[in-house]
Amino acid sequence: LTLTIIVLLYSLSSYIALMKNLHDRQQVRNQNYARELAALLRSTAADLQQVAEMVPFLGGVESALHNRQMPHINQVLERYWTLMQIQNGIELLRIHDRRNDLVAIKSAVGVRFPDDGVMKKWISDVNASEKPISPVICHDTCMQFVIAPLLIRGEKVGVIALGISLADVLLRFKQLTGDDIGLLVDKSDKGMRLPGWQSHVSGLTNKQESFAILQQASLTYPQLSTISEGIQIHFHERIMYIKLFPLPAMMGTNNANFIVMTDVTRSVSNIHDSIRQIVMVGIAGLLASGLVMWMMFTQLLSRLKDMAYLLPMLSKRNFREFRSALDAYSKAGRFHDEVDKLYEAASTLSVQLENLEKKAQSRARKLSEQKKVLRRERDFVSHLLNTAQVIVLTQNQRGKILSLNRFGRELLQYEADEIISAPFVCFLSDGETDPELNKHLKAMREGHLTQYRHESLTLCKDGSTRNIAWLHSKLDCSEEDEPAILSVGLDVTEYKRVETHLAWLADHDPLTNLFNRRRFSEELQHMIER
């Protein structure tokens, strides 16, 4: 099982590593494609810039522009327009004067500029800055423009705008990489429609097959944003990797995207073949190792089975019989292996278990004796608490009563459930108002004081009071609800009453209830001294 798990884990880790390697290569290829597309756009812009610089030098154009013979410019450009379309792929040419007014325009059949306001702004910006720009605009299709100042003999006479379709960029990309590429345009009514992505394909290499691939991808992944990360789909027993590349921001609008389709069937197939070989080698290794292990462990397992038959004797405490049986199964002069060491360990274990059994029996007897002693002590303490003529109670960390002996319940006339969990100070006549008492009790609960004595009038259930002399002692506790204070109360009510009566008899005549001679003399002497 362990070897099987190892083979499976190795196969899985190899598959993950190979797929990660494929993904990394795809990421590197994507970066190269992004740079390639940006370079193609820059190259197209540079070509248009060269054409823009060449236009003033065409025969008749220079003189017409220099002499401002604007009506003749269209006629002059007509002679070169077909050549510019065929050789340079120019689809739109516009010339504006220094006041941004249109003086000449040439366009291929069916080509129009969708937003004249945008063009006027570009013309105005170039006229003002005298610096060329190369924007890209997308509507039904995408066109790249170069708008540059028009110079005649070192003097600016206007602005020229040249536009070219991005179809040439798609074709050049296909030639360079061998992968198919398309151009997706949002909010367009022309081109091949992809409803799932709400886009139209305005340009595509290998049109028929590539469009079928995009249709399947749009149905499988309806969110266009998913394509930005790159996806894989199965198409006619092939695996296609599809990645979206937005037009570079520096080129202008962002409502169009390049989409590149790469056939990764061979790479994925190679990965599957490698994993298949790893699994087959692993299975062969498993079979071979299983056979070797079976040959090695057959005899060892037989001896282990003998050991398994003997082990129950330990649970029955037949230690000596167990050791005798082990000696019978062991063979003298035999090469010692792990099973022999197991036999020796089992014999040693039986001796230790026998000794432990004897110790356990001895300790069990001692424990039984200690249990009897503790039971007698517990009964003695319980009897002492219930027969002692003093109040014995315990309090927790919050000053609540946890237990009260029988004498306390009888003296205070409370049942156990009436007094348990009640605050101790509630049963003292001045318990809640005496700051000195509360301060000392708090100090005991916090561990700052170990003992405290005081006398208090204690309230009984019938409304009467008893004069109790209390002694509080701090107990060790770790939990909040464990006993923290042991309180012992002695009823001194009768003692106080007798003490008061004796003091009265010392100062009064019992027959007349008046001061006696001694007290009279003390009072007279006190008045004379004043």
Say which residue, 268 or 300, is predicted with more confidence.
268
Output the six-digit token pair for 23.
Answer: 């993904």
Encode pLDDT of 153-194 as tens digits.
Answer: 777 888 999 988 888 888 999 999 889 998 888 765 555 788
Cross-strand bridge partners of residue 233 = 240
Cα angle at 65 between 60 and 67, to 5 degrees?
Answer: 95
Mean pLDDT on 433-447: 85
Residue 241 is given by DSSP the state E
d(C-alpha 132, C-alpha 149), whole Å:
7
Contact in structure between 153 and 165 (CB atoms under 8 Å) = no
Say which residue, 105 or 326, is predicted with more confidence.
105
Q: How confident is the model at residue 320 (pLDDT cuts 50, 70, 90)?
A: confident
In residues, how long is the chain? 530
Mean pLDDT on 63-77: 70
Correct CATH for 38-164 of 3.40.190.10, 3.30.450.20, 1.10.3720.10, 3.40.50.720: 3.30.450.20
d(C-alpha 291, C-alpha 456), whole Å:
91
Contact in structure between 213 and 232 (CB atoms under 8 Å) = no
Count Cβ atoms below 10 Å from residue 455 Cβ, excluding itself.
13
Encode pLDDT of 115-125 as tens digits.
Answer: 677 888 888 99
For residue 236, is pLDDT > 80?
yes
Q: Please give the pLDDT value at position 148.
A: 92
Q: Please give the pLDDT value at position 260.
A: 92
Rg of the chain, C-alpha, whole Å: 54
For residue 385, is pLDDT > 60?
yes
Q: Please give the pLDDT value at position 188.
A: 56
Encode pLDDT of 3-34 as tens digits.
Answer: 677 778 777 888 888 888 888 888 888 889 88
d(C-alpha 295, C-alpha 307), whole Å:
20
CB under 8 Å to 408, separation ≥6 — which residues? 391, 392, 393, 489
CATH 3.30.450 at 169-263, yes or no: yes
For residue 365, is pLDDT > 80?
yes
Answer whether 0.75 is exceeded by the pTM. no
Residue 368 is given by DSSP the state H
Contact in structure between 466 and 493 (CB atoms under 8 Å) = yes
337-340 long-range contacts (CB < 8 A, ≥24 apart) are 337/300, 338/300, 339/300, 339/303, 339/304, 339/307
First CA to last CA distance, the chain: 112
Helix 167-177 to helix 2-54 angle (10° resolution) is 130
At residue 159, the 3 state secondary structure works out as strand
Say which residue, 161 or 482, is predicted with more confidence.
161
> What string of DSSP letters covers 177-228?
H--EEEEEEES-SSSEEEGGGTEEEEEESSHHHHHHHHHHHHHH---HHHHT
Contact in structure between 174 and 36 (CB atoms under 8 Å) = no
In our burial notation (b when 16+ CB lie closer than 10 A, e otherwise), range 327-354 reads eeeeeeeeeeeebeeebeebbeebeebb
d(C-alpha 87, C-alpha 323), whole Å:
105
Q: What percent of the chain has pLDDT over 70?
A: 90
Mean pLDDT of the residues in the chain: 82
Q: Where are the alpha helices (DSSP H) in 228-334?
A: 265-310, 312-315, 319-329
Q: Please give the pLDDT value at position 187.
A: 63
Say which residue, 507 or 230, is predicted with more confidence.
230
Q: Please give the pLDDT value at position 252.
A: 47
Contact in structure between 170 and 119 (CB atoms under 8 Å) = no
Q: Please give the pLDDT value at position 70.
A: 63
Correct CATH for 388-491 of 3.40.228.10, 3.30.450.20, 1.20.1050.10, 3.40.720.10: 3.30.450.20
Number of helical (H) and strand (E) elements in the chain, helices listed first: 16, 16
Within the chain, which residue ranges are assigned CATH 3.30.450.20?
38-164, 388-491
> What string of DSSP letters covers 48-82?
HHHHHHHGGGSTTHHHHHHTT-HHHHHHHHHHHHH
Say which residue, 510 or 394, is predicted with more confidence.
394
Q: Please give the pLDDT value at position 250.
A: 44
- Its sign, for the CA torsion 49, 52, 56, 59, is positive
Say which residue, 277 or 297, is predicted with more confidence.
277
Q: Please give the pLDDT value at position 254.
A: 47
Q: How confident is the model at residue 270 (pLDDT cuts 50, 70, 90)?
A: confident
Say which residue, 197 or 232, is predicted with more confidence.
232
Laid out side by side, the sheet with 192-194 consists of 192-194, 199-204, 180-186, 256-263, 238-246, 231-235
Give the range among 38-52, 290-304, 452-466, 481-495 with minimum mean pLDDT.
290-304
For residue 369, is pLDDT > 80?
yes
Contact in structure between 98 and 156 (CB atoms under 8 Å) = yes
Output the six-digit token pair for 308.
Answer: 């398994």
Closest to 184 measured CA to CA, from 120, 140, 240, 147:
140
Q: Please give the pLDDT value at position 22.
A: 80
d(C-alpha 443, C-alpha 462), whole Å:
32
Give the range among 158-162, 284-288, 355-359, 465-469 with minimum mean pLDDT.
284-288
At residue 108, the 3 state secondary structure works out as coil
- Its sign, for the CA torsion 481, 486, 491, 493, is negative
d(C-alpha 402, C-alpha 424), whole Å:
10
Encode pLDDT of 402-429 as tens digits.
Answer: 888 888 888 888 888 888 888 888 888 8
Cα angle at 337 between 334 and 340, to 5 degrees?
Answer: 75
Mean pLDDT on 223-242: 87
Q: What percent of the chain has pLDDT over 90?
A: 3
